[in-house]
Structure 1
Amino acid sequence: MLDIVKNDPWLEPFSRSIEDRNNYFLKKEKELTQNGKIRLSDFATGYLYFGLHKTTDGWVFREWAPNATEIFLIGTFNNWQRMEPYRLRSIEKGVWEVKIPPEHIRHQDLYKLLVSWEGGSGERIPAWCRRVVQDAQTHIFSAQVWEPATPYTFKITNFKPDTSPLLIYECHVGMATAEEKVGTYNEFRENVLPRIKNSGYNAIQLMAIQEHPYYGSFGYHVSNFFAPTSRFGTPDELRQLIDAAHEMGIAVIMDIVHSHVVKNELEGIARFDGSYDLYFPSNPNRRNHPAWDSLCFDYGKNEVLHFLLSNCKYWMEEYRFDGFRFDGVTSMLYYSHGLEESFTRYDDYYNNRQDLDAICYLTLANKLIHEVNPTAITIAEEVSGMPGLGLDIKSGGYGFDYRMAMNIPDFWIKTIKERKDEEWHPSAIWWETTNRRADEKTISYVESHDQALVGDKTIIFRLIDADMYWFMSKLKSSSFRVDRGMALHKMIRLVTATTINGGYLNFMGNEFGHPEWIDFPREGNNWSHKYARRQWQLADDKNLKYHYLGDFDKAMINLIKSVPDFQTTTITKIWDKDDDNVLAYMRERLLFVFNFHPEKSFNDYGMLVPEGEYSIVLNTDNFRFGGFGLNNDTVHHFTHHDPLYAKDGKGWIKIYLPARSAFVLKKI
């Protein structure tokens, strides 16, 4: 019996399904590794074979296009014309190849393929190309040769991520500038990385790295899987950014999209060789994603596995990414893509509607990634709660290191929208922030980029709304909404970040209460960048209140980091009482106390804790975090002896709990 079933007896009725899934993976791994003669990493080297490569005696280009009848390489080097020296020849199993003298192609030349098939032809950007650029006037995309005379050399070659715990700053390079434009890799490296380092985060999660034709897709409609987007700069500038992050001790995780593909034929891999099912299922109902207007991969094809697994290895080897956050995992797991599914009981996970090929791919990807780099980080963005995603493969899991705790942001939004302040019950807060599978690590978060997209609101904007425009200045009188919103913003983040069992994530700028939503330039907003940027100056201006929230976030992160392997320490609930809206729990020597009540402050509020002396080390209500300073943080608190509990080493601590505040005490 696999450990996944031993760990959770409720899975026993589905043990056959779980074992079949695991055996399916083992059989496929055996096939791809030639019965163990090679490693999975040796299989995933397509990027070294396909595409355009400079050799000792010229250039060689290869592409997989089994339905093609004729292919020419066209570009600026031959005036975009069909010319015999650039004709590809079919060599084997649908692979085409051409060899070109060295002087014919130069660095930064533009190129495409002219592909013909029975009944048609079209220009295509090579599936394995490493750089794609868009013409500023025509807006047409083309592949570009990237072979600089002096390629970037990494300074840091043996970086190991700090995962004790993993503290992720989710970023979008293009919108990381305060200017109303698309930001660059260099600007991010120079201006934003130091902020992240100063804030205490030890990892960044970069969105929208794979090239995508529509900027407003947030990078989730990928066209060119091996090309870092040229909107932000050159491939070497991305390498320099990652190298700089490593120098600062910051891991770099890539938000990778292997769950679907943009439909564009001229920019992507759709109908690449005239066929509809080169990388995709032959059945149109399975090929087309009904919710995303995109195409789904056929994970049952070995050529598709070769493409995607090679893609994982490519980003790790060529750019030194430290791992991946896999987007849209729920969509991959089920033929229904998880749409209109409830997932309220275990039967829903094992209803014969699982896509075993997609599940096999995800397991292979995790095996490969950790084979290439044993310290790599993999995270599943998955909403259904499928058991085993964050469990190692040997135990019967899928091999992800972490899964996103997607219930938590949903809970906070629902609470803010639907609950009166006095109904913010600690029992519900405790349940949502600690409800997870004991054998799987999660990434907890209050809000990611998802919660801030146009049509929605950030947490701070839900709490404060239009008062942000008028009452965030220290030079003017405050408002009830601002005071309430800032207090709850700190408390929500503190309880979410300190109940983790794996890691914590924050989307850039949200730590200081970045106002409003995210809206990328589009026809509906006159192609404006006003809401696709980050107003860092708000956090830097000491006359505004935003810095209070940023200062608190930094203090909170540093507190978490002060406890070795904070995420693995035992978390013990000390007290929760819904009538009082009070919650308390301990980790190691830290006591976390929350009073969510909107009006009631409590004098000498008592609870049983380990006997001893306690000092306040973090207080949401402190003046330096924009609070009212109702507690004296220099006062030490001593437990009161009680013979009934003395044998357990416990005594009563009595504390003043101001309304809508939280603080952390440390046992001395």
Structure 2
Amino acid sequence: MAHDRFGGLTGWDFEGFHGGGDTELWRRLGSSVVTVEDDERGSVTGVRFAVWAPNARSVQVIGNFNWWTGDQMELIPGSGVWCTFIEGLGEDTLYKFRVETHDGRWIEKVDPMARFSEQAPANASIVYESKYLWSDDEWMEKRRTAQAHAEPMSVYELHLGGWRKGKSYLDLAEELVSYLKWQGYTHVEFMPLAEHPFEPSWGYQVSGYFSPTSRFGKPDDLRYLIDKLHQAGIGVLMDWVPGHFPKDEWALGRFDGTALYEHEDPRQGEHQDWGTYIFNYGRNEVKSFLVSNALYWIKEFHIDGLRVDAVASMLYLDYSREEGQWVPNQFGGRENLEAIDFLRYVNRHLYEREPGVVMIAEESTSFPGVTKPVHEGGLGFGFKWNMGWMNDSLRYLQLDPVYRQYEHNLLTFAMVYAYTENFVLPISHDEVVHGKGSMINKVPQDDWRKFATLRAFYSFMWSFPGKQLIFMGCEFGQRPEFNEATSLEWWVSDLWGHGGLQRLFRDLNHTYRDNAALYELDNSPEGFSWINADDASRNTLSWVRHDSSGNHIACVTNFSPEPLRDYEIGLPVAGAWEEILNTDAPIYDGSGEFGNLGEVTAHAEPWGHFPARARVTVPPLGSVWLRRTGS
């Protein structure tokens, strides 16, 4: 034998893959530059290609090195994996696989494990080996001991192509990092980074799960961006899409002519609404593929957490289906037991393997125990998006103030279930697309009231129990809906109202981060006390947030257009309370007429369940925060 034709792989290398326990599959499948020993010539370097296609009659690798004509691959005995080693090849080689199906058809497929791909609409896989040297040791060390639930988390969600059109990963490493630092966000969340063919899908229909989109540069350019964010003290989350994948004939679907990654039965294997395939979570090889993918982003790209998209669609067999269009589980129920097992598996593995990462569920139902640990019967996520809070809050926001008193419970109801899960409060891209209108255009009446209401709403949101997430452009009140084809309208941030809102966000973020009372006990009833939940007639809500060191912040929000003068509230401690935020301040383009001259004094006279009381001025459509340090 001249040299190892499988590039060092044997059937034993795929035992874990077939058992569902290979969590680093990218080290075995796909394309890798390797050096093998030749009997006559010593060390020989080239590229090893390996692809799982167990039902194929034959597989070839085609590429720019063989004029796309095909080099035959061999089946590694007992593995279902086709492999070949081609010496002399290296990085930047373009390739695809040509698969002969069981019925004699030839189909061309991109590599499911490709680590780099051509830019859409081209789609060839590209051989790529990272040479990046990280400089974020300090961040990664800190991450290992992080306690996410007791730390501040304000997330800026963005679509890479629409933040500033035409910017690369390298451009963003300068511009985005400095903007986020100025604004004070703790985290950035990138809408799917994985390669996707159709730009208006915003990356939610993935064709290259291991391939960072090449629209903005090379994989090591993305590593550089993440490194720079970490060095600036900013965590990086990414949207991860294990719920479904597109039907493009050159991608994962019917990969070897059979349903390999997806279910064969369309009642189990297709989302009719989205025109996509559903992963077969009961298949061990699919579990290995997906758990490896989750770990890949965290390990190879230092991603700090995954926000898992469309979890509800995974949990329920009848999701968006009519009667008779779905197959019940073995007990006759609607829960997808295999998907539930998979989610528990991936969450448990990542939390054990990479301490400090966060797993966040976008889950829109009341499925129990989403953020409960797996060993207690939960799904094992760290956080869940609070879609109920979001829907109720936006319904309230869109009401004319005269009608808000009749729907007051829309803003109080979230506290009824606030401690059932660990929540993130999201105002995400989904709320400002497809005819829903931008945030500024959801609010009724004239511009003064629109901006004042938004300032009050965001201060309400930032002081409510739970972590915070806002979509790009909301921070300066962009008027058009999100459109991935154009940049944000940055120029409006120089205008009245828009600029004030942007400055408010900066102060909200910095004040939030500087005051543990606003985040440390988010998931504990000890961190929150209502002052008055029931003042519906004045559209006003008030509460106190507490930390474990005896610090308190009182938050009063007035969603009516009438100012509140000498508004009486109860407080936990007598003495001086510093006014640390007033959304009517001139710096935020407010009137500046309704403040408390920097502080209020609480007197030791009982009020409700509080030992002290104070009188405050609260601006129309405005919010005031008061701080008392120490107990």
TM bucket, shorter chain: 0.7 to 0.9
2:537 partner SS: coil
C-alpha contact (below 8 Å) 1:62/1:97 kept by paired residues: yes
C-alpha contact (below 8 Å) 1:176/1:188 kept by paired residues: no
**Is 2:86 the counterpart of 1:128?**
no
Number of equivalent positions: 579
Residue of structure 1 equivalent to 2:77 = 91
**1:366/1:456 CA distance change after superposition, 3 Å:** same
C-alpha contact (below 8 Å) 1:159/1:246 kept by paired residues: no
**Is 2:188 the counterpart of 1:236?**
no
**1:259/1:112 CA distance change after superposition, 3 Å:** same
Aligned ranges 1:557-636 → 2 under 5 Å: 557-564=509-516, 566-569=518-521, 570-575=527-532, 576-588=534-546, 589-598=552-561, 600-610=562-572, 611-636=574-599
**Is 2:266 the counterpart of 1:284?**
yes
Once residues 332 and 566 of structure 2 are traced to their aligned partners in structure 1, the CA distance between those partners, rounded to angstroms, is: 54
C-alpha contact (below 8 Å) 1:132/1:229 kept by paired residues: yes
Once residues 336 and 537 of structure 1 are traced to their aligned partners in structure 2, the CA distance between those partners, rounded to angstroms, is: 46
C-alpha contact (below 8 Å) 1:637/1:653 kept by paired residues: yes
**Is 2:278 the counterpart of 1:296?**
yes
Residue of structure 1 equivalent to 2:476 = 512
Once residues 342 and 582 of structure 2 are traced to their aligned partners in structure 1, the CA distance between those partners, rounded to angstroms, is: 46
Pick one of 439, 449, 457 that aligns with 1:459: 439
Partner letter of residue 603 of structure 1? R
C-alpha contact (below 8 Å) 1:390/1:403 kept by paired residues: yes
Once residues 113 and 571 of structure 1 are traced to their aligned partners in structure 2, the CA distance between those partners, rounded to angstroms, is: 58
C-alpha contact (below 8 Å) 2:20/2:284 kept by paired residues: no
Aligned ranges 1:153-302 → 2 under 5 Å: 153-157=133-137, 158-161=140-143, 163=148, 164-177=151-164, 181-266=165-250, 268-275=251-258, 277-302=259-284
**Is 2:310 the counterpart of 1:328?**
yes
Deviations 1:361-419 (A, max 9, x none): 00001011112211001000000121100111122111100000011221233224455
1:68 partner SS: coil
**1:246/1:42 CA distance change after superposition, 3 Å:** farther
Once residues 412 and 182 of structure 1 are traced to their aligned partners in structure 2, the CA distance between those partners, rounded to angstroms, is: 34
Per the normalisation by structure 1, the TM-score is 0.82
Partner letter of residue 536 of structure 2? D
Once residues 510 and 649 of structure 1 are traced to their aligned partners in structure 2, the CA distance between those partners, rounded to angstroms, is: 36
Residue of structure 2 equivalent to 1:306 = 288
C-alpha contact (below 8 Å) 1:434/1:499 kept by paired residues: no
Alpha-carbon offset, residue 658 of structure 1: 3.1
Once residues 372 and 535 of structure 1 are traced to their aligned partners in structure 2, the CA distance between those partners, rounded to angstroms, is: 41
Partner letter of residue 27 of structure 2? L
Once residues 360 and 568 of structure 1 are traced to their aligned partners in structure 2, the CA distance between those partners, rounded to angstroms, is: 31
C-alpha contact (below 8 Å) 1:65/1:96 kept by paired residues: yes
C-alpha contact (below 8 Å) 1:615/1:633 kept by paired residues: no
1:128 partner SS: coil
Partner letter of residue 95 of structure 1? V
Residue of structure 1 equivalent to 2:490 = 536
Deviations 1:185-215 (A, max 9, x none): 1222111121111111111111121111001
C-alpha contact (below 8 Å) 1:91/1:97 kept by paired residues: no
**1:658/1:207 CA distance change after superposition, 3 Å:** closer
Once residues 418 and 601 of structure 1 are traced to their aligned partners in structure 2, the CA distance between those partners, rounded to angstroms, is: 19
Residue of structure 2 equivalent to 1:55 = 34
**Is 2:457 the counterpart of 1:492?**
yes
Once residues 595 and 465 of structure 2 are traced to their aligned partners in structure 1, the CA distance between those partners, rounded to angstroms, is: 28
Once residues 338 and 610 of structure 2 are traced to their aligned partners in structure 1, the CA distance between those partners, rounded to angstroms, is: 54
2:65 partner SS: helix
Once residues 198 and 426 of structure 1 are traced to their aligned partners in structure 2, the CA distance between those partners, rounded to angstroms, is: 37
**1:299/1:62 CA distance change after superposition, 3 Å:** same
Once residues 517 and 612 of structure 2 are traced to their aligned partners in structure 1, the CA distance between those partners, rounded to angstroms, is: 27
Alpha-carbon offset, residue 457 of structure 1: 0.9
Once residues 471 and 300 of structure 2 are traced to their aligned partners in structure 1, the CA distance between those partners, rounded to angstroms, is: 26
Once residues 454 and 622 of structure 2 are traced to their aligned partners in structure 1, the CA distance between those partners, rounded to angstroms, is: 10
Partner letter of residue 545 of structure 1? G
Alpha-carbon offset, residue 437 of structure 1: 5.0
Residue of structure 2 equivalent to 1:661 = 622
Residue of structure 2 equivalent to 1:360 = 341
Aligned ranges 1:2-151 → 2 under 5 Å: 43-57=22-36, 58=45, 59-83=47-71, 86-101=72-87, 103=88, 105-117=89-101, 118-134=103-119, 139-147=121-129, 151=131
Once residues 520 and 406 of structure 2 are traced to their aligned partners in structure 1, the CA distance between those partners, rounded to angstroms, is: 26
Once residues 433 and 113 of structure 1 are traced to their aligned partners in structure 2, the CA distance between those partners, rounded to angstroms, is: 51
1:384 partner SS: coil
Once residues 188 and 559 of structure 2 are traced to their aligned partners in structure 1, the CA distance between those partners, rounded to angstroms, is: 31
Alpha-carbon offset, residue 579 of structure 1: 1.2
Once residues 483 and 645 of structure 1 are traced to their aligned partners in structure 2, the CA distance between those partners, rounded to angstroms, is: 34
Alpha-carbon offset, residue 43 of structure 1: 2.6
Partner letter of residue 163 of structure 2? A
> Mind listing any 5+ residue stretches in structure 1 that lack a counterpart?
1-32, 342-349, 465-479, 521-528
Residue of structure 2 equivalent to 1:651 = 612
Comparing 418-427 with 353-362, greater Cα deviation is found at: 418-427
> Mind listing any 5+ residue stretches in structure 2 that lack a counterpart?
1-13, 37-44, 324-330, 522-526, 547-551
